[in-house]
Amino acid sequence: MMAVVGKGSMKLGVAIAALLLSAGAVHAEKCTLPEIASLVLKPLADGQYTIPVAIGGAEREFILELNNPFSAVSGALADAQGYDSRKMRRGFTAHLNGEEITRQVTVGEVALGTSRGKDFVMLRADKPLPGGASGVAGLDLLKNFDIELDLKHAKFNLFSQEHCPGNVVYWSPDYAEVPFEADESGHVSFAMRLDGRKVSVDFDLREGPSVMGSKTLRRLFDLTTAAPGMTEETHVWGTSWTYPFKTLSIEGLSIANPRIAIVTQEGHECRPETRWVNGREVTCYGDAELNLRSPVLKALRLYFAFKEKKLYVTAADAHI
């Protein structure tokens, strides 16, 4: 995982579980978009957002993390619900908010909107989560739906995947259609162009500039933090640098002068390439070359069609 202070993404080596959620109460023609939930994103002090997830029959606030391949539940809630915890498979590690996760639990019942499922495996997070949240809603939970993110207006909608392919951007006739990839952990990334150079991107809903590691910058652009044009910035957690990138684009949609913080990258880049570390083979998943954050995402409206492995993108204020 990139050494990004406060970053909540995980690096994992295997998918732990999949939840088969059913919107059985929704019956509609296949070319409609059956809505499962329309949620208002609740902001936290650190810039993250939560959504309501029902655990054990009661709604709890879960942090929405579109760059986390796995969901997690707080250890306090797991104990209160009487969930048994067990060790993760040997040889696999996960990190969340600075905590190394070693155990997982099976949640008896979980619900999002009108959709419910049972026996969903989540990581157990014993370190308190930001804002007193009860857990993290990751991609293993969300990929069972189509999801629409309108971050500018703090809206998050879930739809059934039982519909015609395409025909999902109901708010605008003009949109970009982008295929996406998932690595072995289930982490999703998208191809964008930064000053003409192809970069893999994931989405982090926090406030602040988007983030790229110093080693990634060197590999992609042959630039160091001492290059002409770099501006150094000092924070309570350390130092970052910014570079005057001109354009970040995706299928015809462009964002001018994207603000990207370059952070010192300790160790190896997190890339799905096996290497030897301390005498053992290690493969890292769950990261991208560029982590887009809230200021960029608020300029876009996004629709994730996980079954089709496509992302549909418009400007945030696009409308019919």
- In the chain (320 residues long), the average pLDDT of successive 10-residue segments reads 31 36 46 90 92 93 94 95 88 82 92 90 94 95 95 96 88 92 88 95 92 96 96 91 95 89 88 68 83 92 94 89
pLDDT tens digits along 6-21: 233 344 333 333 344 4
Q: Max alpha carbon distance in the chain (Å)? A: 59
Q: Which helix (H) or strand (E) holds 218?
A: helix 214-221
- The residue to which tokens 């924070």 are assigned: 235
35-159 sits in which CATH class? mainly beta
The domain ranges of the chain are 35-159, 176-315
The span from the CA of 68 to the CA of 96, in Å, is 9
pLDDT tens digits along 171-210: 999 999 999 988 888 899 999 999 999 999 999 999 889 9
Identical topology for domains 35-159 and 176-315? yes
pLDDT of residue 72: 96
Structure pTM? 0.85
The span from the CA of 160 to the CA of 272, in Å, is 31
Strands 253-256 and 94-96: unpaired
pLDDT of residue 279: 67
* Topology annotation, domain 176-315: Cathepsin D, subunit A; domain 1 (2.40.70)
pLDDT of residue 181: 85
- Per-position b or e across 230-263, b if 16+ CB within 10 A of its CB: eeeeeeeeeebbebebeebbbbebebeebbbbbb
